[in-house]
């Protein structure tokens, strides 16, 4: 797809966020065609450049930073310097979107809170992410994915006596989706009215939204009226003789036929014991024959080697040019945008930018021009 055909072509986004949720929200907008300009502190940049998942690095940045910041530009500004802060304000006055995930009070001290930014640019779409919302006893606490999973009771969703958290940054990634959704909605309103707006969300709100069915059921039923654990045929993950098997929601009769049981045997424990006695591949064949949706539990390597992974084409190669002429170009294989537009997959070859790749916003720099490089 040509750049001009992308839905957000011409939209300018200032990304003042760091680490995961905010940067990934900006990344989603970049994949849809927006010009995303990452604004970072001097010398170290944002924390994601140095905080590595699994200790992986590439070309002086963490691999996780590359994954979350591809297809962006990068400028440096010392927000404690009045002249450089003024340059950032000039960018705010001309941009379409601003995204940040600073702690409460930081943007107010900088004069870049929503009220101040709206005075500079009434058409600005302002996206603010937090850990636990703008109000309440935890409003001033820094957000963290594992803590959000825990305080939201998500860690107990699997049942049993041992809580289990998702081993990925689920809360962060969900919040990035909500931020990007809110930004695009306000951009549509801006087209109609010329008015910008404020989108706010938090890690906790995303975790509660994820559990909407569970919470609705609990809020509308007394605790004493909960069904017994063994009264339902489970949809869950089970150990088999040689691995694990996932069973989707199904009618008890189908599962009983596949497991060769009777109605009196239905229950979590009986199903678990029965499945543990057979091989995963055999159970998959038997269950599917009875119309029971199921799948084997794969390792990451098994997923990557699978025909399904190949068919969906979820990867792309991004490149970063060397600093010195004749140097080695960095090439990384990463994931692509998970959506398609007009039947076409969205891919980019642009890697994450080096710190300050487009310069530093020093006092006296040329004004920001939409659609052209930032001239320092």
Q: Are residues 288 and 258 in the same domain?
A: yes
CATH code of 250's domain: 3.30.1540
Is-contact 321 351, C-beta < 8 A? no
Q: Are residues 238 and 200 in the same domain?
A: no
Q: Are residues 125 and 273 in the same domain?
A: no
Residue 336 has pLDDT above 50, yes or no: yes
Q: Are residues 137 and 29 in the same domain?
A: yes
Q: Are residues 43 and 185 in the same domain?
A: yes
Mean pLDDT over the full length of the chain: 90
CA distance 323 to 18: 24
Average pLDDT rounded to a whole number, residues 324-343: 95
Question: Residue 316 falls within a domain, yes or no?
Answer: no
Q: Are residues 238 and 337 in the same domain?
A: no
> Residue 147: its pLDDT value, please?
92
Residue 359 has pLDDT above 70, yes or no: yes
Question: Residue 356 falls within a domain, yes or no?
Answer: no
CA distance 39 to 92: 11
Cα-only R_g, the chain? 25
Q: Are residues 146 and 280 in the same domain?
A: no
Percent of the chain with pLDDT over 90: 74
Residue 357 has pLDDT above 70, yes or no: yes
Average pLDDT rounded to a whole number, residues 245-266: 80
Domain containing 99 equals: 3-211+321-345
Q: Are residues 234 and 341 in the same domain?
A: no
CA distance 313 to 306: 12
Closest CA to 230 of 155, 153, 159, 157: 159
Percent of the chain with pLDDT over 70: 91
pLDDT in tens, 12-53: 999 999 999 999 999 999 999 999 999 999 999 999 999 987
CATH code of 109's domain: 3.40.50.10540
Helix (H, G, I), strand (E, B) or coil at 224: helix
Q: Are residues 182 and 44 in the same domain?
A: yes
* 59, 161, 172, 225: the active-site residue: 172
> Residue 227: its pLDDT value, please?
52
pLDDT in tens, 122-173: 999 999 999 999 888 888 888 899 999 999 999 888 666 778 888 899 999 9
Average pLDDT rounded to a whole number, residues 54-70: 93
> Residue 370: its pLDDT value, please?
45
365 — pLDDT class (breaks 50, 70, 90): low
> Residue 165: its pLDDT value, please?
84
Average pLDDT rounded to a whole number, residues 324-333: 95
Average pLDDT rounded to a whole number, residues 314-326: 95
CA 127 to chain CA mean position, Å: 15
Residue 175 has pLDDT above 50, yes or no: yes
Question: Residue 59 falls within a domain, yes or no?
Answer: yes
CA 324 to chain CA mean position, Å: 34
Is residue 145 part of the annotated active site? The answer reads no
> Residue 110: its pLDDT value, please?
97
pLDDT in tens, 263-272: 566 677 888 9
Residue 75 has pLDDT above 90, yes or no: yes
> Residue 159: its pLDDT value, please?
60
> Of the ranges 129-143, 180-194, 311-325, which one carries the lowest mean pLDDT score?
129-143
Q: Are residues 202 and 245 in the same domain?
A: no
Residue 179 has pLDDT above 80, yes or no: yes
- Stronger pLDDT, 298 or 232, i.e. the higher one: 298
372 — pLDDT class (breaks 50, 70, 90): very low
Residue 376 has pLDDT above 50, yes or no: no
Residue 346 has pLDDT above 90, yes or no: yes
Average pLDDT rounded to a whole number, residues 180-192: 98
Question: Residue 68 falls within a domain, yes or no?
Answer: yes
- Stronger pLDDT, 207 or 270, i.e. the higher one: 207
CA distance 133 to 111: 21
Q: Are residues 341 and 271 in the same domain?
A: no
- Stronger pLDDT, 221 or 67, i.e. the higher one: 67
Is-contact 355 45, C-beta < 8 A? yes
Strands (E), 59-150: 61-62, 73-76, 97-100, 125-130
> Residue 33: its pLDDT value, please?
97
Average pLDDT rounded to a whole number, residues 71-89: 96
């Amino acid at each position: 797809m040509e750049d001009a055909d992308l839905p957000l072509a011409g939209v300018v986004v200032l990304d003042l966020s760091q680490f995961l949720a905010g940067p990934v929200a900006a990344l989603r907008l970049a994949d849809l065609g927006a010009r995303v300009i990452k604004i970072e502190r001097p010398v170290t940049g944002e924390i994601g450049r140095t905080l590595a998942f699994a200790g992986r690095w590439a070309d002086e940045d963490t691999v996780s930073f590359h994954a979350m910041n591809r297809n962006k530009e990068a400028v440096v500004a010392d927000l404690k310097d009045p002249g450089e802060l003024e340059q950032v304000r000039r960018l705010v006055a001309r941009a379409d979107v601003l995204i940040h995930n600073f702690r409460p009070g930081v943007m107010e001290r900088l004069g870049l809170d929503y009220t101040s930014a709206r005075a500079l640019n009434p058409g600005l779409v302002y996206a603010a992410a937090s850990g636990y919302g703008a109000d309440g006893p935890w409003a001033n606490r820094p957000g963290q994915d594992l803590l959000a999973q825990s305080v939201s009771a998500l860690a107990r969703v699997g049942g049993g006596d041992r809580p289990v958290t998702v081993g990925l940054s689920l809360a962060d990634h969900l919040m990035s989706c909500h931020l990007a959704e809110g930004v695009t909605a306000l951009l549509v309103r801006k087209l109609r009215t010329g008015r910008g707006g404020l989108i706010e969300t938090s890690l906790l709100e995303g975790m509660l939204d994820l559990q909407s069915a569970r919470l609705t059921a609990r809020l509308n039923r007394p605790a004493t009226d909960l069904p017994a654990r063994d009264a339902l045929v489970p949809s869950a993950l089970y150990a088999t003789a040689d691995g694990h098997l996932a069973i989707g929601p199904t009618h008890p009769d189908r599962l009983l036929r596949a497991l060769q049981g009777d109605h009196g045997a239905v229950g979590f424990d009986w199903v678990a014991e029965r499945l543990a006695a057979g091989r995963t591949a055999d159970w998959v064949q038997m269950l599917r024959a009875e119309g029971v949706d199921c799948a084997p539990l794969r390792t990451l390597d098994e997923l990557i080697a699978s025909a399904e992974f190949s068919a969906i084409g979820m990867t792309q190669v991004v490149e970063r040019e060397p600093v010195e002429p004749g140097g080695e170009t960095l090439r990384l294989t990463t994931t692509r945008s998970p959506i398609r537009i007009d039947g076409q997959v969205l891919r980019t070859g642009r890697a994450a930018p080096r710190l300050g790749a487009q310069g530093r916003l020093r006092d006296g720099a040329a004004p920001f021009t939409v659609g052209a490089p930032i001239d320092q």
